A = this chain, B = another copy of it.
Amino acid sequence: MPKEPGPASGEQARQLALTRLRQAILHGEMAPAQRLVENELAEQFGVTRASVRAALIELESEGLVERIRNRGSRVRVVSVDEAVAITECRMALEGLCAAKAAVTAGDGQLDRLTEVGEAMTKAVADGEPMLYSDLNHELHALIREFSGQQTAVSLLERLNGQLVRHRFQLALRPGRPQQSLSEHLAMIDAIRARDPQAAEAAVRSHLASVIEALRG
């Protein structure tokens, strides 16, 4: 395995290790439950063990890795039950964000939502589930962003990080994008109508449907 080139100038070792590791986990390059040996990672990223260690501690409190005393670190696997519980929290928090976004979003931001909605419609029509999944992610991110609720946003990003694997699994299920599409469009419409209650309700009902799909 080739040794990593020098970090993007100025980036500190710990930061680099953190970014790389998080990316690797989120992109699924690390198998679930894979052992994460500090020494190996250190060599792979071209940093020292202490930096890797610091990154692992941070990722542990983000819920992405699991650390056991004197036993090492592993990529955390979330069970279906956990995924459901996490999505229930998302229901509560994204509902809040959608309601806020319906009130505070600017007109340009609303147009942005419309664009994404159209792209999603096209992705479903063309039968591109992975593209749809990406747009799905983007839509939720935009709603979070437009809400201006920094606290809720950081909580939600933490939660979403734990769901990567389940998200892919869900997107590839046949028929799922079609059902999900109409729910997403309803969310967009409610926000564009600047109706906070309808927006919250639309988000909650969408995520309730996600929960059902997870369980199914």
Q: Which B residues are in CB contact (< 8 Å) with A93?
A: 89, 92-93
Copies of this chain assembled into the complex: 2
CB contact under 8 A between A151 and B155, given known A62-B61, A89-B93, A96-B89: no
Min CB distance A172 to B, Å, is: 25
**CB of A88 within 8 Å of the partner chain:** yes
Which residue of B57, B62, B89, B91 contacts A155 across the interface (Cβ within 8 Å)? B89
- Tell me the interface secondary structure of chain A in the complex: helix
Distance of A92 Cα from B89 Cα, bound (Å): 8
Q: Which of A58, A91, A93, A151 has the most CB of B within 10 A?
A: A151
Distance of A151 Cα from B57 Cα, bound (Å): 19
**CB of A186 within 8 Å of the partner chain:** no
Contact with B along A140-172 (1 / 0, CB 8 A): 000000000111100100010000000000000
CB contact under 8 A between A69 and B151, given known A93-B93, A95-B92, A96-B89: no
Supply 17 further A-B pairs (C-beta < 8 A) apart from A58-B61, A88-B151, A92-B152: A50-B50, A54-B57, A58-B58, A82-B151, A85-B150, A85-B151, A86-B151, A88-B96, A88-B149, A89-B93, A89-B96, A91-B96, A92-B93, A92-B95, A92-B96, A155-B155, A155-B159
Write the residues of chain A forming the contact surface with B, with a CB cutoff of 8 angstroms: 12, 50, 53-54, 57-58, 61-62, 69, 82, 85-86, 88-89, 91-93, 95-96, 149-152, 155, 159
